[in-house]
Amino acid sequence: MVMKEININRNCIAKCFISIAMLSLFGCTKGKVENVTFDVSLDSINYKLGENVNYRFSGYADNITYYSGEKIANYPIALGNRYEFYNRTLAKGKAILQFQSLLQNIGQANTLSLLVSQNFNGKYDSASIMAATWVDITNRFVLSDGTSSAFTPSSNIDVSDFKDSAVFFAFRYKAVTGVTQPKWTINNLNLTFYARGIDSTNRVTNDTFTVATLNPVWKAVNILNKSQNWSVSTTQLSFAGTTATSAANEDWVISKDLYLNRVPTDKPTSIIKTYTDAMMNSFQPPPYTSSGKYKVAFISSNASYVGQKGKVKELEVEISP
């Protein structure tokens, strides 16, 4: 059995127990904060999938919160429940951009570019776009050549080199008069961050976060020829193109500000005791739904208006199929 006791600082406890601590302040009749004597034990660390894990409690704490150790399974609908990531907001890893493109009505070449800016001011107008510094990354991607009616996958491209600040992505359509101005369509766009980190038991942890899709991220901005502009929907970006006799076109469709390596913090699975609750002898959470090793944490605290005292108790359980 792996068990660890950690003294935690006031900020850590406050993050987990803001609302609970308030209850403690009202309920406490003395200013003195008693030491936390809460402890947890298990008869075994090995369980079958679907089997209940019964934690036995001893001692006392005003407030107890439980982290099951489960990783993110359905972001952003559900977050992870790992205590080691309770305050993680940035992560190492890779940001991967992918999309599909279709070129139609082939005319002049090189009308579509993909650009990135880290100093665009977020004002979607011509002056702001021209004032920003844009890096052309078109050559990182595979684009449709117009010889097939099928969409062309861009391939999965690492754009992690733009992770250190807010970033804007833009598709720019630029065409001159005198040659047929082709049609472009972009769909199935996904910008995904694959976080990678080492937890305190030296296990590699991998989480996947969707940074952006086509909805509702993109805004069209007309620069030249107001009769033509990008069409933006929840499923695709498209520029209709026009004939050779049409005036020159320059039109941009730009993402909102994106943060490639910013990740949400993991959350407690449940608050299992507050100051007003009686101390229990045991706790049986819902069974795990996936096999694997889980690092469970119980965060306990006592609090009054003069301060807080707390502990973290960590145990490891293994769920077999």
Superfamily of domain 3-86+266-320 in the CATH hierarchy: Immunoglobulins (2.60.40.10)
pLDDT digits (tens, 9 = 90+) for 70-126: 988 777 777 899 998 999 888 888 999 999 999 999 989 999 999 999 999 999 999
pLDDT for 178 beyond 80: yes
Ranges of each domain in the chain: 3-86+266-320, 93-254
pLDDT digits (tens, 9 = 90+) for 234-264: 999 999 999 999 999 999 999 999 999 998 8
Model confidence at 19, pLDDT cuts 50, 70, 90, reads: very low
- The rounded Cα 144 to chain-centroid distance in angstroms is 30
Please give the model's pTM, rounded to 2 decimal places.
0.80
- Cα angle 199, 43, 45 (rounded to 5 degrees) comes to 30
pLDDT digits (tens, 9 = 90+) for 115-128: 999 999 999 999 99
Nearest-10 Cα torsion for 114, 117, 123, 129: -60
**The residue type at 204:** V
Cβ atoms of residues 153 and 98 within 8 Å? yes
